[in-house]
Amino acid sequence: MAKQDRAIRTRQSILVAAARVFEERGYQAATISEILAAAGVTKGALYFHFQSKEDLAEGVLAEQDQQLAVPSRACKVQELADVVLLHAYRLQTDPMVRAGVRLALDQRAQGLDRSGPFLRWREIGTDLLMRAQVQGELLPHVDPAETAGIVVGSFAGIQAMSQALTDYQDLTLRVSELLRHLLPSITMSSVLTALDLTPQRGEKVCTEIEQERLELAAQEERDAARQEPATVS
C-alpha cells in the first residue's frame, strides 16, 4: 500500500510540474528536461508514468475532468451555472486548470489531441440541460446540445480575453456577466429569478466541495478505526 501511495504521489508531482512548465512555456517550447527539473524526479520515474511529452500533456488535460464535478442541485440550470463559475474560479487559483486550458486552446500544439476537454465540457452541459428541460426549467425552443456548445465556446472566448487583459483577475466577473446575458434566452423566468450567478458563486461552490471532501475523509477514518481489531492485553 505504501509503495502504491508513493507512486500516486510521484505521478501527481510530475503532472503538477508539467502543468507549470506547459503554462509558462506552451506545449511546443516545453521540454522533458524542464519538466524533470521542475518535478525533481529521475527520467526513469517520469517515463514509468508517462511515455512522452504528448502523454504528459494529455494527463494535464485529463485533470480538468476531475475539477468539473459540482454538488447536485435541484435546479439543473443552477448546477450548470455552478460548473461554469467553479471552472472560472479554479482558472484563477489552480495552476493545473490554467495549464489544461492553455493546452486546450494552444493552436500551435502540433500532434496533441486538444478535442477532449471541449467534448467533455459539452457533454456535461448537454446532460444538465437535458435534465433541466425534463424539469421544465428551459424555454420551449432550447436544443440542449446546441446550447451546450454555445456555452463552451463562449466561455473559451471570455477566458481568453480575460487572460490577455488581466491575467484572469476579472474572469469570475466576466463569466458572471456572460451567464446573466445568456441564460435569459434559454431559461424560464420563474427559474431565472432564483439563480445565483454572482462572481463569488464559484468560490462558494469550491468551499462546499472541499468541506464535503474533508467530512468524507473524516468519516472514512472513523469507519476504518471501528474495523480495526481490538488489542488483546
Q: Is the pLDDT of residue 65 over 70?
A: no
CATH number of the domain where residue 191 is located = 1.10.357.10
Decide if 23 is inside a domain. yes
Pair (10, 113) in one structural domain:
no
Alpha helices in the chain (DSSP H): 2-25, 32-39, 43-49, 53-63, 76-93, 95-105, 115-134, 144-166, 171-182, 189-192, 201-227
Share of the chain above pLDDT 90, in %: 49
Pair (114, 190) in one structural domain:
yes
Cβ contact 115:30 at 8 Å: no
Q: Which cell is 36 given?
A: 524533470
Q: Is the pLDDT of residue 209 over 60?
A: yes
Pair (51, 68) in one structural domain:
no
Pair (91, 182) in one structural domain:
yes
Decide if 33 is inside a domain. yes
Decide if 14 is inside a domain. yes
Q: Is the pLDDT of residue 227 over 70?
A: yes
Give residue 233's pLDDT: 47
| Residue 151 domain boundaries | 63-210
Pair (121, 94) in one structural domain:
yes
Cβ contact 77:71 at 8 Å: no
Buried b (16+ CB within 10 A) or exposed e, 171-209: bbebbbebbeebbeebbbeebeeebebbbebbbebbeeb
Number of domains making up the chain: 2
Cβ contact 48:6 at 8 Å: no
**Model confidence over 4-18: pLDDT tens digits?**
778 888 888 898 888
Q: pTM of the entire structure?
A: 0.81
Give the residue from 4, 2, 33 showing the smallest Cα distance to 17: 33
d(CA 51, CA 21): 17
> Which range in 52-56, 160-164, 214-218 is most confidently predicted, on average pLDDT?
160-164
Pair (52, 67) in one structural domain:
no
> Regarding predicted confidence, which is higher, 184 or 114?
184
Pair (126, 36) in one structural domain:
no
CATH number of the domain where residue 10 is located = 1.10.10.60
Q: Is the pLDDT of residue 81 over 60?
A: yes
Decide if 120 is inside a domain. yes
Pair (196, 118) in one structural domain:
yes
Pair (21, 47) in one structural domain:
yes
Mean pLDDT of the region 43-64: 86
3-state secondary structure of 187: strand
User: What's the length of the chain?
Assistant: 233
Q: Is the pLDDT of residue 92 over 70?
A: yes
Give residue 137's pLDDT: 98
Of 7-21, 79-93, 117-131, which gets the smallest average pLDDT? 7-21
Q: How far is CA 75 from CA 19, 121, 129, 149, 200, in A?
A: 34, 19, 10, 20, 19
pLDDT band at 67 (very low <50, low <70, confident <90, very high): low
Long-range contacts from 149-156, C-beta under 8 angstroms, 24+ separation: 149/122, 149/125, 150/182, 151/80, 151/84, 151/125, 151/182, 152/118, 152/121, 152/122, 152/125, 154/178, 154/182, 155/84, 155/87, 155/88, 155/121, 156/104, 156/105, 156/118
Cβ contact 87:140 at 8 Å: no
Cβ count near 28 (within 10 Å): 13
